[in-house]
Structure 1
């Protein structure tokens, strides 16, 4: 094979890798902006995919543009304009939008361009509120928002919910069909309607943040773009609803958690767990912002909600300059309060960790073993991981190694799997 074909293949492979990375980051914004334009989520997804196919054709030949996200957006917008011009039904829909905007001008190419660039409000926030319409089930709302706003794959959403992938796929199809058939407006609602959707909107933002903070799959432990997007949308929502304590609580939680970002991985991208982190690398500005948001949340309501409670737990870690200074009894008590509000096996597993740190590994292990029969945690890799940690601290190295191996078999994230296998090997060596 000559050098020229090899070079062409290399350029094509590089362009395809770049497109995949760009798509991962830009597709939520692209689909959200297109949905604002065409008022149809499925059509917006088709237009975005069309833009990606054009890129697949041209980038290997012309090279990746300097601003690939903007290139994809411009291409998708041109496809949207073409669609309006040739589709009479969409033209009528666009006439309605034109009338709502109180303009009597005949739609021409330049008018369409102006409306395409009329980015009033935040498209991703609109997308979240649309996806969280009460006509949808809570499961469908969250799955749809994670797909459209966070750009997660169906498989990643399934792992986040601990449900089969076909179940998530069916939810997504039904949700988009329901939104289209009910002609749900693409907007951030006002008044009581906004309050009705707030709980599921907060849940979606938090799930997006968590996927960035600790990726469920892939080879990267962190996905900073998702964290940043969740924080950005959360801050916008806090400005829209400044008197809602749980909005402030969620923002507080995300600010404090995000402060650890640069201490959570080493120079090679390998995970560094909380107790081993260099706390001097924690972002003090984000911590101060988080503590201020937590203070505001607590001033707005005498009884803390789930997000404010989790923010209070994160604040305990943030205030401890050294790991050994952590107030574990208070953290265990806060998890007890959280269990009263949100009694889930995952919260109880976190409480078990705190109890094990406050009262000793035997107390924590007893709580973990009580959770092993819970079907919801059957495939949850952190259950055997936590059990392995307690067994290790109790000197039961052979059992700890087995639990770490079991956790590694369940883990979907490559970095996390490697860490668990390393811990298994270390415990096996101790056991002899």
Structure 2
């Protein structure tokens, strides 16, 4: 059943925790790669650790895997401390960006390898290998050599090999980074399907925002070695804890200003002489008049129209000029200069999927949004 947290027992609730990271840090010389990281991951959940290069996400994953020992803190797997437990004794499956498949073996032999290393009953290995090849939709491909498989098929072999011995935990270290966009998006859905079907606790590391949103039950956003936010994907996207999270996930515009009035969660701030209304965002619950602030609004929350008359239902409207129109197939991304906001460049997504009224560079347009969509952070 796995480890049940003390808090859960006290509350009379059943909440098995598969992985618990407690105040874990990693220092390389004078560099703090990870700073006091703490989180719990319930059994059967899919967690993605998201962040830019150098944020500490891979270092944190390596400590969970056992490849690096924490400088401070402790990691628990199924309630047991594992800092002194070597990687091969942690019952963890891993898939890396470099798949490390054995080229001289067939797909089936690659999948069978961890079973043989763990001395499973030889009479059961063949059936188990075939079952996991079927799981990753490679039934009938077992006899093929690795070089006879496509990139996506090789990924599936690596997944089957990581899962075939039924690990307590599956770790994914940017395994899709080398794939082209279409195949990467297909494999993201495959990871989600397989994880849901098996219910294996999974921790994924990536810098790909879409991947994190698509596959995960929860997301951790890291920067500078610190956890910035841990939340469900919808909450991380719609209610970012700070300006970094707001900027890192999605396409976000920022408008700088000074708080004029704060009334509960409602904020009014001055931006280059303009009064803008928004809501307090993240943990910034003490914004007061005179404080420097930044309003964040996502590209899809801004409406664009030929004139303000078309935007009368919105609470805030400004005029601008189209600097560029970028066609991305499913949408058009507009870059609009707004003189009234000190020449701020706002990115706006096309919201006219029916008629596809398209604006051209140089066109005069109006932009609009509602106060609830403008999240205000401390500067």
- Aligning the two structures, in what range does the TM-score lie when normalised by the shorter sequence? under 0.3
What's the TM-score once normalised by structure 2's chain length?
0.27
Identify, as 1 or 2, the structure richer in helix.
Answer: 1
Write 1 or 2 for the structure with the bigger share of strand: 2
Q: TM-score, normalised by structure 1?
A: 0.25
